[in-house]
């Protein structure tokens, strides 16, 4: 290869790199200028960019590029001179030229020569745009300053182009120097060297640190570069969709590692496109919502510490958590049961689930197979985060938070099996000592789980995953749990022998066969010069084949899951309602047939009894007086299979699981007992008692309840303990003093034999001791429920349930 050719190639490469940048910048500048044609500075900038391309292409003998650049320059110059108006047609024409130039440059880059072809179409389009233009703009507003503009430009940019591999090799070289310095420093310390020598070394050390800083700086680029193509994308997409969008960027001076920039370019473009396609409403939608028809999309960057925050904010409709849930359920990426357990934040984050698309229909823009899941994965791959700040109805902000440089991440160094490993700090939720009071480790069916403050995590031991044994030198007291959250909605606890420290780590990919284990994300070289493997926290999860999903895991969620399970089993559920008096009460859901809403006028009084007319039927209502007012009234409709009773309520509060423990009421009545529901006492309505009040007399008591009288109840045991059992077994319990004729009498004392004079009423005697007095002892031990109910059944001729 001849020397001249090489020089030519270098020139061409420089030209291509420079032109690619200029074209991206020009696209953005053109769109900005279109929005404000009076912005003279913007026009001058575009003119200079095109002029630069024309100049360098002429030198390289690229006739097509030169012709195109010349046409654009000419048109822009006419505008500068005031001979031609700045309008959308002109901008579209120039953008057409910019596109053609990009294509040509791409071909030049791959083929090394300018392809033959004809550009009269785009050049003609630009000329035609002039003919079609309406009234000429006011020439007076534009001044002629062309020559000095170009001069200032040349002075403004004093920089040279450096090939990236050279930059990378400088970076590697400096890292080598740093490592050698560290080694040397250690040796100096150990040798007990002369302080003067150490001082001299420290100076060297400082300048090396400064140099490392500068080299890192060399790789930095202004984020402007990343923003440059966005205005063009926004303009084109907004036009396609018939939306009006104002686009603004800020913080373009923030600097970012060039490799990082490459990695967030596509996610950023995707988010911006999403904002226009899904976020911004159609024009009529914006009018209906009382918003400015022109939507605003703002992209801003700012640096915070070692991180760069890039925010894409729109003032569109925002995300609707409920709509997201519905969509997720219909897309079968979420079950209805799981959906109930989601927090509002988790609902929003459904958009990051694979296979999720927020558009009601797939549009040409959204249907490109790239979803927010890919965006999130790409950002997380480089150690970044994606956050949503949603304001439903008013807009959405998507925030990308990425480390400033790709290669350096913050890592947590841990020890296991006698060697060190690094865990990306971003994936670590919390670090706890295994001996901590808040940690409870249990073995369950061969696996281990850990409960931390009520939340359960699957526990993985790093040694087990790596197939190693614990190092005998490890102190059990040092063992720590790292709560790892590798991705959305997944977390687990990783048990390690010890936590070492945090370090800023330079990460390099490991050899393919090491990456293939799925356990490592790369290697790093800390200051001691011994390589350390970076653990792949997601891969470990896959290797362990455990379900680390957080759904239904925490105890709060567990209660809900339990409730759902209880419902499935048809277990007792309690309907909580606020009654007319404003008191919260509960009633077993199974006795409620339905909740009726009736006009107050449907209630009437008849024979001292409130009745309700619902449809063609008349039902008794449990109320002392007719409701006041003429509004509507909610009625719980209780049905025992034979009759219906209405119970007026203010409103239904909730449906909860019937608590296991109920404090029974002292005497049978409307309230069967009190239970704690979510910490608050709730009166449980006794449907049995309720129905009983209205069953009597209303309908013929076909299945009359056997009446059971409790005698000799000196200490209230019969009333408090025995009566509820009897009632639930289908007996009506009457007090000893009651005049009603009982079917059976329960005598609570052994010596009550003399009082068995209640006609023919059979008597069952209860004894206090568990053991019978003799073989013919007919008394029943008072806590032997089965024997007691048996005896009752026999005495009353099989009645009762």
Partner 1 sequence: MMDKLYLVARIADTRVALRSRAINSVVTVGTPVEVPAAPPHVAGLFALRSRVFTLIDPHVVVGLPSVPVAPGQRVVVVDVAEHGYALLADEIEDVCFIDAPETRVTGKLLPGWARVADAMIEHEGHSLLVVDPSHFITLPAQRAA
Which residues are near partner 1 by CB under 8 A? 172, 175-176, 178-179, 417, 419, 465-468, 508-514, 516-517, 519-520, 523-525, 529-533
CA-nearest of 77, 38, 82, 79 to 54 is 77
d(CA 186, CA 221): 35
Strand order in the sheet with 447-452: 428-433, 480-487, 490-496, 455-461, 447-452, 439-444
Angstrom distances, CA of residue 189 to CA of 179, 197, 227, 350: 16, 11, 49, 55
DSSP-assigned letter for residue 308: E
Bridge partners of 256? Answer: 221
d(CA 187, CA 206): 17
d(CA 793, CA 791): 5
Indicate the residue among 414 and 519 with the shorter CB distance to partner 1. 519
Contact 716, 735 (CB under 8 A): no
CB of 258 to partner 1, least distance (A): 19
CB of 525 to partner 1, least distance (A): 5
Indicate the residue among 506 and 633 with the shorter CB distance to partner 1. 506
Residues 6+ apart with CB under 8 A from 37: 43, 85, 86, 87, 137
CB of 492 to partner 1, least distance (A): 18
Indicate the residue among 519 and 744 with the shorter CB distance to partner 1. 519
CB of 497 to partner 1, least distance (A): 13
CB of 211 to partner 1, least distance (A): 14
- The residue behind tokens 């200490």 is 715
Helices marked H in 242-311 — which ranges? 258-274, 283-288
Beta strands in 196-326 (DSSP E): 220-222, 244-250, 255-257, 294-304, 307-314
Indicate the residue among 107 and 216 with the shorter CB distance to partner 1. 216
Indicate the residue among 217 and 469 with the shorter CB distance to partner 1. 469
Indicate the residue among 47 and 421 with the shorter CB distance to partner 1. 421
CA-nearest of 52, 30, 185, 17 to 527 is 185
Indicate the residue among 47 and 492 with the shorter CB distance to partner 1. 492
DSSP, collapsed to helix, strand or coil, labels residue 279 as: helix
Indicate the residue among 394 and 508 with the shorter CB distance to partner 1. 508
CB of 543 to partner 1, least distance (A): 8
Supply φ then ψ for residue 518, to 5 degrees.
80, 0
Instruction: State the helix-helix crossing angle for 164-191 and 195-218, rounded to 10 degrees.
Output: 160
CB of 183 to partner 1, least distance (A): 11
Indicate the residue among 181 and 258 with the shorter CB distance to partner 1. 181
CB of 266 to partner 1, least distance (A): 23
CB of 175 to partner 1, least distance (A): 4
CB of 179 to partner 1, least distance (A): 5
Indicate the residue among 329 and 543 with the shorter CB distance to partner 1. 543
């Amino acid at each position: 290869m001849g020397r001249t050719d090489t020089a030519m190639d270098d020139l061409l490469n420089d030209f291509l790199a420079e032109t690619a940048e200029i074209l991206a910048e020009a696209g953005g500048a053109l769109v900005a200028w279109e929005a404000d044609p009076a912005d003279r500075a913007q026009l001058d900038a575009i003119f200079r960019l095109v002029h630069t391309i024309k100049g360098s292409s002429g030198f390289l003998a690229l006739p097509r590029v030169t012709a195109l650049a010349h046409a654009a320059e000419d048109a822009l110059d006419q505008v500068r001179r005031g001979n031609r108006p700045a309008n959308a047609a002109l901008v579209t024409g120039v953008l057409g030229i910019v596109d053609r130039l990009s294509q040509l440059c791409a071909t030049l880059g791959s083929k090394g020569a300018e392809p033959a072809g004809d550009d009269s179409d785009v050049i003609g389009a630009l000329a035609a745009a002039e003919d079609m233009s309406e009234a000429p703009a006011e020439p007076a507003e534009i001044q002629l300053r062309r020559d000095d503009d170009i001069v200032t430009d040349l002075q403004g940019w004093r920089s040279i182009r450096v090939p990236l591999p050279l930059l990378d090799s400088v970076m590697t070289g400096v890292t080598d120097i740093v490592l050698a310095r560290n080694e040397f420093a250690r040796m100096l310390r150990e040798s007990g060297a002369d302080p003067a020598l150490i001082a001299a070394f420290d100076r060297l050390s400082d300048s090396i640190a400064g140099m490392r800083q500068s080299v890192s700086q060399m790789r930095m680029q202004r984020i402007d570069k990343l923003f440059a193509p966005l205005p063009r994308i926004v303009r084109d997409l907004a036009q396609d969709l018939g939306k009006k969008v104002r686009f603004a960027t800020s913080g373009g001076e923030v600097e970012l590692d060039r490799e990082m920039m490459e990695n967030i370019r596509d996610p950023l473009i995707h988010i911006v496109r999403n904002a226009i396609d899904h976020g911004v409403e159609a024009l009529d939608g914006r009018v209906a919502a009382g918003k400015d028809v022109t939507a605003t999309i703002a992209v801003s960057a700012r640096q915070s510490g070692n991180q760069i925050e890039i925010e894409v904010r729109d003032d569109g409709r925002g995300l609707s958590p409920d709509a997201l849930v519905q969509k997720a359920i219909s897309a079968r990426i979420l079950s209805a049961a799981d959906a109930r357990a989601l927090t509002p934040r988790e609902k929003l984050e459904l958009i990051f689930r694979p296979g999720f698309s927020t558009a009601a229909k797939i549009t040409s823009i959204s249907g490109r197979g790239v979803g927010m899941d890919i965006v999130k994965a790409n950002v997380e791959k480089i150690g970044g985060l994606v956050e949503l700040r949603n304001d439903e109805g008013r807009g959405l902000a998507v925030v990308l938070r990425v480390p400033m440089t790709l290669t350096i991440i913050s890592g947590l160094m841990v020890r296991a099996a006698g060697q060190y490993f690094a865990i990306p700090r971003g994936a670590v939720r919390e670090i706890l000592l295994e001996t901590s009071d808040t940690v409870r480790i249990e073995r369950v069916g061969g696996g281990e789980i850990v409960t931390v403050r009520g939340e359960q995590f699957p526990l993985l031991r790093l040694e087990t995953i790596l197939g190693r044994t614990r190092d005998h030198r490890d102190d059990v007291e040092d063992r720590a749990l790292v709560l790892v959250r590798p991705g959305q909605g997944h977390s687990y606890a990783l048990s390690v022998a010890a936590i070492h420290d945090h370090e800023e780590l330079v990460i390099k990919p490991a050899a393919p066969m090491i990456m293939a284990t799925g356990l490592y994300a790369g290697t790093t070289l800390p200051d001691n010069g011994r390589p350390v493997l970076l653990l792949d926290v997601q891969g470990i999860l896959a290797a362990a084949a455990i379900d680390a999903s957080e759904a239904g895991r925490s105890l709060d969620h567990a209660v809900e899951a339990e409730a759902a399970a209880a419902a499935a089993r048809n277990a007792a559920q309690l309907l909580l309602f606020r009654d007319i008096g404003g008191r919260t009460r509960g009633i077993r859901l199974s006795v409620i047939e339905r909740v009726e809403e009736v006009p107050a006028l449907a209630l009437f009084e008849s024979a001292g009894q409130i009745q309700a007319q619902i449809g063609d039927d008349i039902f008794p209502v449990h109320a002392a007086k007719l409701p006041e007012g003429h509004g509507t009234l909610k009625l719980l409709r209780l049905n025992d299979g034979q009759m219906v009773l209405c119970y007026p309520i203010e409103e239904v509060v909730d449906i909860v699981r019937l608590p296991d423990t109920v404090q029974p009421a002292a005497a049978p009545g409307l309230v069967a007992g009190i239970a704690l529901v979510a910490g608050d006492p709730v009166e449980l309505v006794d449907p049995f008692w309720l129905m009983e009040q209205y069953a009597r007399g209303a309908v013929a008591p076909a299945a009359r309840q056997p009446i059971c009288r409790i005698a000799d109840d000196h200490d209230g045991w019969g009333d408090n303990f025995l009566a509820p059992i009897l009632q639930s077994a289908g007996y009506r319990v009457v007090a000893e003093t009651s005049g009603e004729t009982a079917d059976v009498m329960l005598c609570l004392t052994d010596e009550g034999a003399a009082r068995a004079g209640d006609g023919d009423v059979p008597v069952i005697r209860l004894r206090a001791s568990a053991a019978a007095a003799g073989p013919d002892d007919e008394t029943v031990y008072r806590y032997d429920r089965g024997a007691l109910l048996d005896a009752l059944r026999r005495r009353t001729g099989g009645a009762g349930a």
